[in-house]
Amino acid sequence: MGVRSTTSRMGRGAVALSVVIGLVLALALGVVSAQPSVESYDLGEATIVQSDFPVDSKFRDMPVALRGVLAVPEGEGPFPVALFIHGSYAFCTSPNPVDDEIDIYPCPPDGDLRQYEGFSYLAEALAERGYIAVVPDLSAEFNNGFGFAPLAQRSTQIIEAHLDAIATGEGFETEVAGKADLSRLVLAGHSRGGPLAVRYINDQEVATRTVSALALLTPAFLEPKPKVPGTMPTALVVAECDGDVGTKQPLKYRDKQLKPLRKTLTTYYTIPGGTHNGFSTQLGSDPASPCEDDQLIAPEEQQRFTASFLPDFYDMALAVGRLPATEAPGNR
pLDDT tens by residue, 215-239: 999 999 987 667 899 999 999 999 9
**Residue 136 pLDDT more than 70?**
yes
> Could you tell me the pTM of the whole model?
0.87
Helix (H) or strand (E) holding 105: none
Report the C-alpha gap between 321 and 327 in whole angstroms: 10
**Residue 327 pLDDT more than 70?**
no
- Give me the pLDDT at residue 7, please: 31
Report the C-alpha gap between 199 and 149 in whole angstroms: 14
Please tell me the least confidently modeled range out of 108-112, 124-128, 154-158, 198-202.
108-112
Structural domains of the chain ordered from first start: 3-321 (3.40.50.1820)
- Give me the pLDDT at residue 224, please: 67
Alpha helices in the chain (DSSP H): 12-29, 120-128, 153-168, 193-202, 248-256, 299-321
Of all residues in the chain, the percent with pLDDT exceeding 70 is: 85
Sorted by sequence, the CB contacts under 8 Å of residue 150 that are 6+ apart come out as 52
Beta 132-136 vs 37-49: how paired, if at all? unpaired
Beta 37-49 vs 61-72: how paired, if at all? antiparallel
SS3 content of the chain, % helix, strand, coil (to 5): 30, 20, 45
SS3 316: helix
Strand intervals (E) in 95-136: 132-136
- Give me the pLDDT at residue 322, please: 58
- Give me the pLDDT at residue 98, please: 83
